[in-house]
Amino acid sequence: MKKTSTRLADGRELIYYDLRDDTVRDAEDRRPLEPTVTTSEVRRDPLLGDAVAVASHRQGRTYHPPADECPLCPTRGERLSEIPDSSYDVVVFENRFPSLAGDSGRCEVVCFTSDHDASFADLGPEQARLVLEAWTDRTSELSHLPSVEQVFCFENRGAEIGVTLGHPHGQIYAYPFTTPRTALMLRSLAAHKEATGGENLFDTVLERELAGERVVLAGEHWVAFVPYAAHWPYEVHLYPRRRVPDLPALDEAARTEFPQIYLELLRRFDRIFGDGEPPTPYIAAWHQAPFGTLEGFDGVTRHDFALHLELFTIRRTSGKLKFLAGSESGMSVFINDVPPERAAERLREVASS
């Protein structure tokens, strides 16, 4: 992998990740852009104790442009985009309309491929591995920023999810705090460790799932399963068998096997609802340990946390979406329409050829 860092016309950083070591990236951004102005602010909710990012400047972000005006495609002739070069393998750049910026963190865009009509599931193993390396590198680099406490790599796929750009891409949020969902996991981890005299909750969950009926895929280094208390109609958790706190801690064997397992999982997601159905909308979310000492979680260190990916769709059956209505949105109590055991069975049935 070759990494080349450059700057866009408004000063934002852009990084090329190339498969070939001899690739030269010297194209300049020819757009007449003014410096980016953001109004991001993080506010704490005194009752719930969580954080809300207020970012009014995002109202003006690009919204469903036609394919020939996609800002994530390479620059071609006078058709100028966010990527100055005429081709690329994988690109990461600072978001022009970030939810978090400055002392409030950082937001980046990850373009998985220059092919506008592809999806992550269409990537070859080498390209998928390159995306993994980009995620890993950005996690490592962002961890050194003084304002960053946790890094979240994720992909939103599909208009139903709220995606405003059709090009295959994901995002990276670098938060200045530990996110509420991670804090819940850490509290459960600490309580279980104390109650069992040192047992790791993530290890226990993985052992129980491996012995049960909800495993979807199992490789030598990765395991994918539908969790016992799945929140979403089709939800899969992907864990490395060897517990590590974050992407940089993965060993070479796990990195090598990851594309095979993950690509198969995504292709099965597109087959859940049968042939002729539109691509399955989904969110793919990497959960990584926060950086530094974990104050407030007695007896737990970041190495007790288990890196894992959660993949889920909001489609509950053909042509129908799972909406977060009263119980889910008002009280955070999910009601799942699909039994997790049936979801796992369906995902095993649709193995790609």
CA dist list (Å): 132 to 100, 223, 246, 306: 23, 17, 12, 17
Q: Where are the alpha helices (DSSP H) in the chain?
A: 125-142, 180-196, 201-210, 252-269, 331, 340-349
Q: Which helix (H) or strand (E) holds 31?
A: none
Among residues 167, 169, 287, 308, the one annotated as catalytic is: 169
Residue 145 CB contacts under 8 Å (≥ 6 apart), including other chains: 106, 174
The helix (run of H) or strand (run of E) holding residue 13 is strand 13-18
| Main-chain phi, psi angles of 4, to 5 degrees | -130, 120
Angle between helices 125-142 and 252-269 (to 10 degrees): 120
Distance CA 127, CA 111 (A): 11
In angstroms, the first-to-last Cα distance of the chain is: 30
Q: Is 70 strand, coil or helix? A: coil
* Residue matched to tokens 């999806």: 119
144 is catalytic: no
* Amino acid code (one letter) for 208: R
**What is the token pair recorded at 9?**
């016309």
Compute the radius of gyration of the chain from its Cα atoms. 20
Residue 120: which of 309, 312, 315, 270 has the closest Cα?
Answer: 270
Q: In the beta sheet, which residues pair with residue 15?
A: 5, 92
Burial of 267 per CB tally in 10 Å (0-12, 13-18, 19+) = middle
Q: Which residues participate in catalysis according to the annotation?
A: 169
